[in-house]
Structure 1
């Protein structure tokens, strides 16, 4: 994002930005990505279509910004002093309400991610890469503290595995991912893979 577009966007109050992003995600859940239009977003959020295009560029960027804004809690602040503690803290952030809403949005963009390279790239850059970077940082601290061998092959696999679980869960189960499910996943698969 350019400095100019960041400066322009700052003229919106946090409340107006939240209303816009809520409208985007509501429409995603209702009609999916393909049927979502900038005109529908503009109407629902009471923004001009010209403003949306000027400040967000297009539908992929606006959808990614809304998903980033409503992303479940940040994980970059987790640091309990142990890798096991950090991973439990990560699991404990799994809350039914957040994951249910997030899952509905992911399903709303699911098919479009495969057909729309621009959307896929934007979502990866805005949403997925920061999460994977945060998980890698948690794992690096575990290596630095001597809790995990630096050549453990699971170090490169765990971040993607953790992200995949929350994204795939709604496709394979009626129940959303709960805190207990996340802890069980850590204990059964992640901890043994890391040898902790």
Structure 2
């Protein structure tokens, strides 16, 4: 595999390319995204993109990885699991439209391309999993829930799943009010006392 050369592109310019890729993805979807479209949006020649990343999948994967930053969920610590999850719901609502559009834009391509799948997980999924895991760990330390509570395994699936399905069910992205009500009505009751076997 050829090593990409990046010496002539500043980090700021590289980020402009990545932002253009992500915007094109959200608007056009993966299949319709082209190097020409990204180049036009980023005001560069497509030869620049090919020289640095060689292929569309590599460019998209690099852009996805660039989107990974310390997410604001990491700083959430209200002193209780209920408070943490409600605050996480409010924060997540602020990015749900952009993140959900990005996930949906990758569609089947992310299932067929391991590099894209890994980049998407790194950019959007793993930071949230780590933050939720930290919330649960603190709750266990405080004695709010047992470490082996069976609902903990499904916490991320509940929260991330409702974000993805909301546009389909309701025709709009989940807002803060909806997500907090979901936490109160569905997530917190599931994390109540461990049910008897």
* Structure-1-length-normalised TM-score: 0.80
Residue 114 (structure 1) aligned to one of 98, 111, 128: 111
Superposition RMSD on alpha carbons, in Å? 3.0
For 1:54 and 1:144, locate their aligned partners in 2 and report how far apart those are by CA, in whole Å: 51
For 1:52 and 1:25, locate their aligned partners in 2 and report how far apart those are by CA, in whole Å: 14
Q: Does 1:103 align with 2:80?
A: no
Q: Does 1:193 align with 2:195?
A: no
- Map 1:1-196; keep pairs closer than 5 Å: 11-13=10-12, 16-53=13-50, 55=52, 58-67=55-64, 69=67, 73-95=71-93, 98-195=95-192
* Structure-2-length-normalised TM-score: 0.79
CA 1:31/1:79 → structure 2, altered by over 3 Å: closer, same or farther?
A: same
Offset of 1:87 from its aligned partner? 0.7
Offset of 1:84 from its aligned partner? 1.1
For 1:123 and 1:139, locate their aligned partners in 2 and report how far apart those are by CA, in whole Å: 23
For 1:126 and 1:83, locate their aligned partners in 2 and report how far apart those are by CA, in whole Å: 25
Structure 2: segments with no counterpart, 5+ residues: none
CA 1:94/1:129 → structure 2, altered by over 3 Å: closer, same or farther?
A: closer
CA 1:75/1:17 → structure 2, altered by over 3 Å: closer, same or farther?
A: farther
Aligned residues: 190
For 1:91 and 1:133, locate their aligned partners in 2 and report how far apart those are by CA, in whole Å: 15
Structure 1: segments with no counterpart, 5+ residues: none
